[in-house]
Amino acid sequence: MQRTKNNSAVSAYITPEGHKRLHDELSFLWKTRRPQVTQAVAEAAAMGDRSENAEYIYGKRQLRQIDARIRFLKKRLEKLVVVDRKPGDLSKVYFSAWVELEDIDGNAYQYRIVGPDEIDPERNFISVDAPMAKALLRRSEGDEITVSRPNGTMVFVVTSIRY
């Protein structure tokens, strides 16, 4: 596990799809985007006075941001562990599982447990480090879980698990 600035733990697990997405982003930034911005900065620098050249100043800022992201991705990809196979016991919730839940009012929820680099609320991808995921790990269909949320404690029943 890696630690963030506020000393909270961040898992190093990632799905193959998530790993590919990060690798593709790194490749795009390094091979396509950075050369484009470098060329634009060189062209802006050739125009003369750099102190009042907005294109040059903006381009240099963009280049710093791209370089910072490249550094982050390189370091992160070195530390990640790709989880590319299903667990031995498919009846329990583990990393990369799709889990369907139901609350006491009968409302249904569906989440996929992924690495912290893959969180996507629109696709219902939650981090393995999230309270909901932690409560779900190693649970089976029919198990009841209690999760503390900002709006109070909620109880859910696991209705389905799939990989």
Domain presence at residue 92: no
Residues 7 and 67 in one domain: yes
* Angle at which helices 34-45 and 54-79 cross, to 10°: 160
Residue 4 has pLDDT above 50, yes or no: no
pTM: predicted TM-score of the whole model, two decimal places: 0.83
Domain co-membership, 154 together with 110: yes
Q: What is the DSSP string of 10-61?
A: E--EE-HHHHHHHHHHHHHIIIIIHHHHHHHHHHHHTTS-STT-HHHHHHHH
pLDDT for 22-34, tens place per residue?
Answer: 999 999 999 999 9
Give the CATH number for residue 52.
Answer: 1.10.287.180
Number of domains observed in the structure of the chain: 2
Q: Are residues 102 and 78 in the same domain?
A: no
pLDDT reading at 48 higher than 50: yes
Question: Are residue 15 and residue 60 in the same domain, yes or no?
Answer: yes
Q: In this structure, are 77 and 106 located in the same domain?
A: no
